[in-house]
Amino acid sequence: MQRVWTFKNAVPRVLPIRNVYKKAQDDAYRLATAVVEEYSGKKRKELKQALASSEGKETARVNMLRILSEINLPSVRSKFYDGEYDYSRPVFLHLLKQKWESHDKLLLLQRLEQMKVIKDLGLTSFQPTVDVHLKFSKQEATDVVPGSIIPAEQACSEPLLQVLPFNTEEHSYTIATLDLDVPNYETNQFQTSCLWLASNVPIKASDRSTIRPSNCLIPYSPPIVHKGEDKHRIVTLVLQQQSPLVELDLSKIQKENVNIRDICAQYSLTPVGSHLFRSQFDEGTEKFLSEHPNVDNYIPFEVKQDFP
């Protein structure tokens, strides 16, 4: 005779199995947290000894021990995955750097390489160490993805920048926005124009406010693109200064044909971050450029390309 299992008969057999698995999971979690706490306690003792030997100075070893003493704690991991970042703690900056290097940095380097930005800037090499976010309005939900094409209406607004260095120290930076594709029809060549230049900008990881340079040497002007021209590559460079104050001589910096490599060599500036977007002619270009206060004598014309 075949027995028919009813729900009443099945429940007592299923629940004990579930209870066994739950108990095993709880035991494994308790054992894992005990191992983590033991490891963190060991690193905290090493940190205390390192601080004593360095007389309280924040050395590289001290910083690494701070990270190792917290990186595996469930409370830290939970806050990080929930997006509750504490930018004043080295452990969160370390985790953010790992996340940035696994995607956003690779995407930026890919776009810079594909569009030959580093080569046309004249830089021998470029390895970004800070994360640069750019958008044109606080109402925008997401940042501009590197390499995106921006409409003229957006590009006429001053960019809003956020720079994240992956350390707790404060440094001074020079920020330059350059148009790499300004055509010179007299010489039949392209030249680089400086659209925005600011120096001595203090940046710290814990200060997440939008960068608004007080000493803007060259106020932002939008890229000037005429009908028939190809897309212009607009690159923003973040240059770390060796000293907190740098006096840039504007009389020696040609706004219409700037050489960023010579400026970096002259004032001891190191490129540490970048962002890239593209601008092209659209139906609103003439209107917005002719009304922009920082654009002088905009003359619209059409470029006709001759093909052999």
Q: Which of 163, 229, 234, 230 is nearest to 195 (CA)?
A: 234
pLDDT tens for each residue of 148-199: 999 999 999 989 999 999 999 999 999 999 999 998 888 888 999 999 999 9
Q: Which burial class, exposed, middle or buried, applies to 39 when counting CB atoms under 10 A from its CB (0-12, 13-18, 19+)?
A: middle
pLDDT at position 249 is 85
Is 130 in contact with 100 (CB distance < 8 Å)?
no
> Residue-wise pLDDT tens for the chain (308 aa)?
555 555 555 555 555 656 777 888 888 889 999 999 999 999 999 999 999 998 878 888 999 999 999 999 999 999 999 999 999 999 999 999 999 999 999 999 999 999 999 999 988 889 999 999 999 988 887 899 999 999 999 999 989 999 999 999 999 999 999 999 998 888 888 999 999 999 999 999 998 888 876 668 899 999 999 888 899 999 999 999 999 899 988 887 878 888 899 999 999 999 999 999 999 998 888 889 888 888 887 888 788 776 55
pLDDT at position 12 is 54
Cα separation of 217 and 253, whole Å? 11
Is 113 in contact with 120 (CB distance < 8 Å)?
no
pLDDT tens for each residue of 35-49: 999 999 999 999 999
Phi, psi of 188 (to 5 degrees): 60, 40
